């Protein structure tokens, strides 16, 4: 099983591979089967399986041009397993697995843990009493050894000290205050070269001050409520490439002017469940098994 113990191993930050590896899960059983966030309300069983598959395939193919993508098999009783960002947080040879706050998703933990162990990762387990939802609420800066960690909706702030010790990294706690933006990756995207894209209305005053304090003003890209509602901040950033849901021309042009290659893809079927591009991937290191056939 895992390496759970009272002693938290300290690990050095891993070097960033030239071509990162991403974990995805095909949307074979994707649906809106329950309501655990505001986006799901009114969308029970309203997602089109056909369109969701088309949209996921479009993202998968685009990512395969710039990254290595590996797959985990979906499970028929787990419609949200497609959102692999919530599986855990990876660093080096270690993964800190998720402890979901919502009972509807807790069974996913078994399948993700098994995949990580079968893939050769060592698991560092949080205490049973602390909820933590992986990359949904924990995002590394690309330019400095810093972890941005959200709390207040799904992840408990008590997990942050554990993450800092386990990963030997500075952790910046950001309190989320808008239920629509229940995970950090729905409203905050650290980008290459010290840029950040964020929706100000998702954070309390202290969190906003920290975001602005630790980024140069010229590299802060606040987004409107309209673009935040299109999950603009739920973006995948690899080098100078950004993949996201379709957003406003204004935001598309701003990112392009800053030197980013922006690929906007329709992902509205997944927004019905409260996710988009970043929710559909978990970033891993280079040593993982090949994709499933």
Residues marked as catalytic: 183, 279
Cβ atoms within 10 Å, residue 270: 28
Cβ(223)–Cβ(234) below 8 Å: no
> In whole angstroms, what is the distance from residue 37 CA to residue 25 CA?
21
DSSP conformation letters of 113-124: HHHHHHTTPEE-
Cβ(272)–Cβ(43) below 8 Å: yes
Q: Which residue has the tokens 């409203």?
A: 187
∠ CA 60-38-185, nearest 5°, is 45
> In whole angstroms, what is the distance from residue 17 CA to residue 110 CA?
28
């Amino acid at each position: 099983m895992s390496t759970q113990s009272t002693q938290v191993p300290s690990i050095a930050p891993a070097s960033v591979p030239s071509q990162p590896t991403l974990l995805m899960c095909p949307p074979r059983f994707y649906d809106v089967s329950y309501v655990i966030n505001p986006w799901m309300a009114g969308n029970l069983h309203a997602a089109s399986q056909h369109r969701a598959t088309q949209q996921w395939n479009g993202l998968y193919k685009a990512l395969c041009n710039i990254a290595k993508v590996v797959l985990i098999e979906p499970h028929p009783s787990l419609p949200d397993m497609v959102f692999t960002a919530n599986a855990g947080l990876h660093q080096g040879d270690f993964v800190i697995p998720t402890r979901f706050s919502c009972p509807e998703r807790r069974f996913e933990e078994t399948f993700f843990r098994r995949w990580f162990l079968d893939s050769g990762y060592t698991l560092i387990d949080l205490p049973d009493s602390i909820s933590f939802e992986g990359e949904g609420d924990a995002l590394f800066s690309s330019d400095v050894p810093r972890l941005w960690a959200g709390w207040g909706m799904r992840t408990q702030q008590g997990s942050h000290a554990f993450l800092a010790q386990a990963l030997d990294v500075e952790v910046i706690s950001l309190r989320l205050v808008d239920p629509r933006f229940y995970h950090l990756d729905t409203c905050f995207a650290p980008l290459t070269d010290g840029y950040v894209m964020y929706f100000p209305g998702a954070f309390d005053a202290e969190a906003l001050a920290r975001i602005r304090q630790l980024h140069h003003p010229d590299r802060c890209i606040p987004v409107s409520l309209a673009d935040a509602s299109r999950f603009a901040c739920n973006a995948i950033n690899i080098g100078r490439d950004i993949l996201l849901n379709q957003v406003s021309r204004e935001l598309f042009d701003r990112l392009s002017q800053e030197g980013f290659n922006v690929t906007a893809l329709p992902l509205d079927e997944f927004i019905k469940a409260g996710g988009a591009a970043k929710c559909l991937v978990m970033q891993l290191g280079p040593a993982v098994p090949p994709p499933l056939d």
